[in-house]
Structure 1
Amino acid sequence: MLDRSTIIGFILGVVLVVLAIVTQGSLLIFISFSSALIIGGGIISATMVNYSFEDIKTSFTAILSMMGAKEVDLRTDMELLSMFARRVRTDGILVLDSDIQHIEDQYLKTGLQLAVDGFKMESLDSILRDEIKSREREVDTSINVMYSMAESAPAFGMIGTVIGMILMLQNISDPEALGAGLSVALLTTLYGAIVANMVMGPLAGKLGYLSELDLNRKQMFRTGILSIVEGENPRIMEKKMLIHIDPKSRAEYIKYHEGARISKERDEKFYKLWIEQQNKEWDDLKAILEAG
């Protein structure tokens, strides 16, 4: 689901624009099929010329994926990987074989499966890096497509304005035709500005922000997976993964674990719960593990 700031931003923008209109006149006079056709058709045609159909499809898939994205707490991911690391140091990498199918994040799932399958460190690292680069290229293309749409909208708004002015001047002696032409001229510019500055531009910016979070999470997973395969101490692995967490959350995590003792009983309790808790807030997970 889109995060709260995105939803509030969209709603607030629409409400303020509509409120500004209805306080001065009727909302119906701002509805024009011709203007919408010019903007919509223009954006679609220009985008299809600039990009392949697959790139456009990928972009809208990314938008839909963004709308369904879940908020994640990287500290919960760290707890999970640390627990896995301790199990591997005790029983070997194959102990994760039955757990991998329950992991929801596809990148982590694939990485651990490759590790269990016995891929060498160099090959595993190369595959994990290539997956991140591939995802980065895919997101960059999607962002560029949306920014291209945002740039095209005002341009087609101006084209609509010129069309409306020509229609108006050709029928300057007819008051009704004069009004229709002027309406198309002004409303198309308005529609272009709204699409560019309230829809496509902000969506491109939000996708860029969310992709940075996703890539950072993948980088953290990569660090953890390689550390597990290398057989490093889980504490060392945690120190490497902490650089991917924001300073405030990092400080809270370090402070908690300085005073907390990771016992076998705690790991066993977490192991029974991790499937349901893997994408929950760290504070909620911590409360559950401390209870009883």
Structure 2
Amino acid sequence: MDLIALIGLIIGIGAIVTGNIAEGGTTAHLVQVAAAIIVFGGTFGATILSFPFKDIITAILSLKFIFFNRKVNFNDTIETILDLLVIARKKGLLALQQEFDRIDDPFLKRGLTYVIDGLSPSIIKDSLYQEIYTYEDIIRRAAKVYDSAGGYAPTIGIIGAILGLIHVLKNVADPSKIGAGIATAFVATIYGVGSANLIFIPMAKRIINKLENEILLMELMVEGILGIESGMNPYFLRAKLEAYITDKQKERI
């Protein structure tokens, strides 16, 4: 469980609720069923209309990027690759098959399988990088779903506000209905702007940030797999992989 993401979400929403209470309001003032239906229903509908169904499903599944961590440890990966390299240099590439049980990452396993099967370095590199590009495209499209929802929500909130004001104007002769209409109008705006800036857009950015770390790890594995295939000196491979991480992180900065 990624506690940082959960804490950020709680702080963001909690700040709005606390500020409302500090101004003399209550949490009941922020609960409007009609406003919620308009904003979240409208945002969901507009988002579904904008993307293929498979992207919507992928976006839902991508919630694991936000609230659950995949272990991305560059140092441990480098050590694993170097151990495999030493085994391959001593016992041959076929000996790597006996090490598959202790390798958790399926991408690394596939790369090693290509090496054991005797594929050329160019084919190995092209195949693995094509898998990286495909994976990156899928996750970026999922993040785009949340980013688009963050763009729709404030506009739908304004629509909800206008509907609330229309309701007020229609019942101007009945003072008992004016308050409810005004509340729906303003709460719809809060729902739209708040959900966009506290939930949807931050979720999209967090998915992308975590994706970049995963892509860097996968690229590191490709370099390590090619080093194993060529029988590179372990000391040189370690220096190459560590320099690769440093260079890529500098590029991101």
> Which TM-score applies when normalising by structure 2?
0.92
* Aligned residue in 2 for 1:287: none
**CA displacement at 1:38 relative to structure 2:** 0.7
Once the two structures are superposed, the pairs formed by residues 86-235 of structure 1 within 5 Å of their partners are: 86-235=86-235
Identify unmatched segments of 5+ residues in structure 2: none
CA contact (8 A) 1:101 1:109 kept: no
Aligned length: 247
SS in 1 for 2:62: helix
> Partner amino acid for 1:136?
E
Once the two structures are superposed, the pairs formed by residues 244-259 of structure 1 within 5 Å of their partners are: 244-246=244-246
Over residues 214-258 of structure 1, what are the superposed CA-to-partner deviations in whole Å (9 max), with x where a residue is unaligned? 0000000000001101111112211221134358x9xxxxxxxxx
* Cα separation, 1, equivalents of 2:224 and 2:207: 26
**CA displacement at 1:44 relative to structure 2:** 1.1
SS in 2 for 1:97: helix
* Aligned residue in 2 for 1:286: none
**CA displacement at 1:203 relative to structure 2:** 0.7
* Cα separation, 1, equivalents of 2:74 and 2:216: 10
* Cα separation, 1, equivalents of 2:246 and 2:6: 24
Q: For the structure 1 residues 102 and 83, does the alpha-carbon distance in structure 2 shift closer, same or farther, using more than 3 Å as the test?
A: closer
CA contact (8 A) 2:51 2:145 kept: yes
CA contact (8 A) 2:47 2:148 kept: yes
Over residues 73-119 of structure 1, what are the superposed CA-to-partner deviations in whole Å (9 max), with x where a residue is unaligned? 21111111111101111111111102123311121121112222222
* Aligned residue in 1 for 2:11: 12
SS in 1 for 2:173: coil
**CA displacement at 1:65 relative to structure 2:** 4.2
* Aligned residue in 1 for 2:32: 32
CA contact (8 A) 1:93 1:116 kept: yes
* Cα separation, 1, equivalents of 2:112 and 2:174: 73
**CA displacement at 1:7 relative to structure 2:** 2.8
SS in 2 for 1:98: helix
Q: For the structure 1 residues 42 and 208, does the alpha-carbon distance in structure 2 shift closer, same or farther, using more than 3 Å as the test?
A: same
Identify unmatched segments of 5+ residues in structure 1: 250-292
**CA displacement at 1:12 relative to structure 2:** 1.5
Q: Which moved more, 1:63-72 or 1:154-163?
A: 63-72
* Cα separation, 2, equivalents of 1:70 and 1:124: 25
* Cα separation, 2, equivalents of 1:31 and 1:128: 50
Once the two structures are superposed, the pairs formed by residues 245-284 of structure 1 within 5 Å of their partners are: 245-246=245-246
> Partner amino acid for 1:209?
N
Q: Does 1:63 pair with 2:63?
A: yes
CA contact (8 A) 1:85 1:234 kept: yes
* Cα separation, 1, equivalents of 2:233 and 2:72: 25
> Partner amino acid for 1:118?
G
CA contact (8 A) 2:167 2:181 kept: yes
Q: Which moved more, 1:70-79 or 1:53-62?
A: 70-79
CA contact (8 A) 1:84 1:96 kept: yes
